[in-house]
Amino acid sequence: MTQKTNVRIRPKETEHEIDDKGFFVRQKNHFTTPFGEGEGKLPVEAGRYRLIWAKGCHWSNRASIVRELLGLEDVISINLVGHGKHEVNLGWEFVYDDNNTDPVLGEQFLSTLYANGDPEYKGRPTVPAVVDITTQKVVNNDYVWLTNYLENEFAPFHKEGAPDLYPAELRTEIDKYNDYLFDNVNNGVYKAMFAQSLEAYNDAFNHLYAAFDAIEERLESRRFLFGDYVTDSDVRLFVTLARFDTYYFKNLGPIRNRIVDFKNIWGYARDLYQIPAFKNNTYLRDLAKSNGNKETIFIDYNTRFWNEIDFDGLWSEPQNRQDKSADPQNKFRAQK
């Protein structure tokens, strides 16, 4: 393969995002221009943008779920990236397409689209990445707010009866809780997995399980995090839960509990999984697939058994979460 000049080798988190005490400090999002009306914002238009995401990345998975929940499939196109086999790590690649090339954007690597957006960008090309099809530039990779833009700014394009995932009266509380989830759960697992000192690992581990304990208690009396209906926060928590027992566990060391060991959290996760947009965008078997070396004596659990486990069956087992709701037949409140 002839490497193009704007295809970059992917920087390693453990070399570029670790502080002097061994703590993982995630790189800041680079393309953060918001969507909306007015000068300095990205125009909200149907057909202009393409959402790039990856099966294994929960930051991007939540955007793909919300896109489908809101009925934006014909408004924002989508494509998946993965990892190709090269002598060096060239980052996200359109490995599922013919010739490993996105059919709309005509590119092989996500890093090229990042370079189009900013030739001086030196960080990791991450997903989700929203690409402006008209310019072939990444214009937004701000996973912190992307689902909120889809829920709010793209509201004129929502399907009829779309769920209200970001109710106006709860937005302050949802934003605050999302920050809590980010620090302790969503990014918490990565803080533990990328920790380069025992101090950093123990700190991340303890905060992660303290959060799980608090969430388990919260879900004792509520069907979802904010009561009877699914909100943006539930999407953010679900994507981490879906990866915990399938993949994260093997990089976390001696874990205290699996997700299946939390009665309320496990029932809650299965309740969400029954929603088509959640199931359609959650590739459990792909998440669990291992590239382990089968030639060694001790082979990791996923390499031995991932293809024998009925993930969909496990995640579809009955649960009685509807009993905690005053509106048990509905998981969503429709937009007004």
- The predicted-structure confidence for 166-217, as pLDDT tens digits, reads as follows 999 999 999 999 999 999 999 999 999 999 999 999 999 999 999 999 999 9
Confidence (pLDDT) at 5: 53
Among 226-230, 250-254, 323-327, where is mean pLDDT lowest? 250-254
How does the average pLDDT of the chain come out, rounded? 93
Check whether 299 has a pLDDT greater than 90.
Answer: no
CATH topology of domain 168-324: Glutathione S-transferase Yfyf (Class Pi); Chain A, domain 2 (1.20.1050)
* Catalytic choice (143, 166, 190, 268): 190
190 in active site: yes
Report the pLDDT averaged over residues 151-159: 98
Q: Which amino acid is at 180?
A: Y
Q: Which of the two residues, 25 and 99, has the higher pLDDT score?
A: 99
| CATH architecture entry for 13-157 | 3-Layer(aba) Sandwich (3.40)
pLDDT tier for residue 23 given thresholds of 50, 70 and 90: confident
Domain ranges of the chain: 13-157, 168-324
Check whether 69 has a pLDDT greater than 80.
Answer: yes
* Catalytic choice (49, 57, 201, 283): 57
57 in active site: yes
Stated pTM of the model: 0.93
Among 23-37, 42-56, 161-175, where is mean pLDDT lowest? 23-37
